[in-house]
Every structure is written in C-alpha cells, then in structure tokens.
Structure 1
C-alpha cells in the first residue's frame, strides 16, 4: 500500500448543493484510507440491507480495498505487489452505533451537506458497489477487523489506478460533490472535502442531521 501524501490540486468547483440540503454525509480518514458514511435513516432499504445482522445501527460507513490484502490479511511483499495490478476488490462495511466523530476522532471526520439528488446518487453508488447472491442479498466474506465490521465483495476491481481513495472520490461525486480529477491519496480526498465544507459553511449551509439519540 502507498502511504498518504499531499499532492497539489486544482481549485475545486463549487461544493454547494444546487437545491436545499437533504442530508449530511461524513468522510473519514484512517491513515492512508478513507471511508464515506451516512446515517441509517438516510440509507434506503437496499443499502440498509448491507448491514443485516447488526442491531441498533445508526451510521453506515463504507470503504474499499484489495481483497487479498484486506480480507486474507496477507501483507507479504508478493501480496503488496499484486495489489498494484487489477484484482478483486472488497467493500469494508462499518456499522456504527455512535457518530463517526466519536468512533474515529473528530479531527479525522468531515461532514458535508448534500441535496436529495446527491443523496439518491450516493445510495445508488453503494447499492451497485456490492456483489449480491441469487436472492439479491449481500454476500459476506467475513467479519471486519473490529466489532461492527464486515467484508463484502466489491463489483469494482482494485489496482494502482483505482484505490480505496479513488473509490471514495467516486462515491462523493455520485453524491453531487465536486472533487477534482486528482484523488489518489487520503490527503487528496481530505484536502478537497475540507475545502468544500468550508465553502458550504461560508454560504450558510450546514449538514442536516437528526439529534443524536433519535
């Protein structure tokens, strides 16, 4: 895997939803990896079904990785080199009972406002990101690295040109957020989403979320 690095980025276009804010999503930095999260109330039935088996879930976080490296936890040199060529991908689902800021640290989480169209775009992206079984249910590859996590087979292939952070950038674009074309490293993603969040705040837009506990 490649360590997170900060690359120069072109100015981001407007990050303001074109129509009134419908929901909040969170972008999480985990060292060189990024996730995108939404409240379970904002997920549709198909997206919530991905977290079947987890009780009292309030937030769903999704990330992407190389299946051999992540699921099998093979971190030898050969596996790391194979991760640089196209191979099977995996979606890491984190089903949270607490807000992402409480789970990952407030400094590692950025909240963004999205429109209804953006929310529906993100839902569609997540629905299509996971392979299904014959009954259209999610296929579980195993438990995640900590409680409340699960590995799901991804429809996308992992490679040097399509990494966990490229996948997150695609998810955010489907949510109607204007990420620049260069989005390879975690720092690339977080630099852009912080800029978008600042622009939204300057326009008086705040991420819409229910009070915690509801």
Structure 2
C-alpha cells in the first residue's frame, strides 16, 4: 500500500508546476562578456551577481541592499529554508509534496571568494544576451504584490539577508539546485536541467574558475 502511495505521489508531482521556467535568450550569442558566480554551500547553491546587474533586474531591492557590491540570490522550499532545525518530517514534506517557495537575497560586502571562503565558488562569463535572460529569470523567481513590489518576508539565515515570497512550488522535480541549473541555462550555459538534485550535480557542469 505504501509503495502504491509513493508511486501515485511521484506521478502527481511530475505534473506539478516547475516555475520559474528557463528564459530563452534573444538569439544574440555574441557580445561583451559579464561575470557571474555560483556558490555551493553543501546542500544548496546560489547565484551571485554584481550589484549593478542585480539591481537592473530588481530595482525595488536597491533601497534594501544598495550598500553592497555583490548580491547572492537563492530559491528553495519555504519551510526547509527557514527551519531552525532540519527534521525528517520537514525533509520528506519538502521532497514529496508541493510546498511554497521562497527567495533568499544576501548582500555581500566583499568578493564572493572571500565572503564564502568555506564554500565552493565558481566564476563564469556570460554574454550580454545571456545575462539579460538570467536577470529576467531571477526577476521571474520573485512573487510580487499588486503594485509590483517583491513580497518581503522575514530576515534571512546568514549575513545581511532577507526572504521574499517565491514563484512556483518546491518538490522533488523542482528543487533549489534545479532552480540554479535553470538560471545557468537562462544565462546560456549548455546543460540539461534534468536530474540536477544535488549541489555537486550543478557545480560539475560549470566550466569556471
């Protein structure tokens, strides 16, 4: 019986929304290259942009994070991300049941390599077209109110950070690391977003420094 319930749950999840979706580039692969960073924190990955690039995607957050040269953004399960203690029940619920998503935004006062010295950080170059698509993907990841402002929630989990309500639902086919893979695909990185369930599965496909 449990086996049947598990199979039915997987079938149900497979049909669930996988928002935010990859943003297709506009077809101009050439152009000046910009730098982005991907940070691997062990179980979770985040995308890091210069403040200038980030605020051009989400100008409403300039007043909150305008003092920082770099901004990290991550997406994940609302309950798992904010939990003081990761329990088995929280983990099972996040994996096997569609749950609300949340966006974590962090202001970095220094280079990502220095700020996240205990994490794996890779730098890669993307074209202007890829950067534009990536910024649209990041913007699409944040839920907004009727006035178009990001829906702010509570304080983030490290550094000067803030949670915002995300778009889409978190589940086994739409995880935090798949979100990062979709961000990279939007930026023009040639990779498959399928089966990107772990941080290492994302970092291994990045040809960066």
TM bucket normalised to smaller = 0.7 to 0.9
Give yes or no for the alignment of 1:174 onto 2:191: no
Quote the residue 2:204 is aligned against.
191
Quote the residue 2:140 is aligned against.
128
- The one-character-per-residue Cα deviations of 1:143-183 (angstroms, maximum 9, x if unpaired) are 11123111111102111111110000001111111123432
- 8 Å Cα contact 1:71/1:142 also seen in 2: no
Choose which of 93, 97, 115 in structure 2 pairs with 1:82.
93
User: Which ranges of 4 or more aligned residues in structure 1 deviate by more than 4 Å?
Assistant: none
Distance 1:105 1:89, change over 3 A: same
Aligned pairs for 1:63-78 (under 5 A) are 63-73=74-84, 75-78=86-89
Give yes or no for the alignment of 1:164 onto 2:164: no
Report the Cα distance in structure 2 between the residues aligned to 1:24 and 1:176, rounded to whole angstroms: 13
Task: Report deviation, 1:126.
Answer: 0.8
Report the Cα distance in structure 2 between the residues aligned to 1:116 and 1:102, rounded to whole angstroms: 26
Question: Aligned pairs, how many?
Answer: 180
Task: Report deviation, 1:21.
Answer: 3.4
Aligned pairs for 1:92-131 (under 5 A) are 92-105=104-117, 108-131=120-143
SS at match of 1:43: helix
Report the Cα distance in structure 1 between the residues aligned to 2:77 and 2:63, rounded to whole angstroms: 23
- 8 Å Cα contact 1:25/1:114 also seen in 2: yes
Distance 1:72 1:182, change over 3 A: closer
Quote the residue 1:211 is aligned against.
none
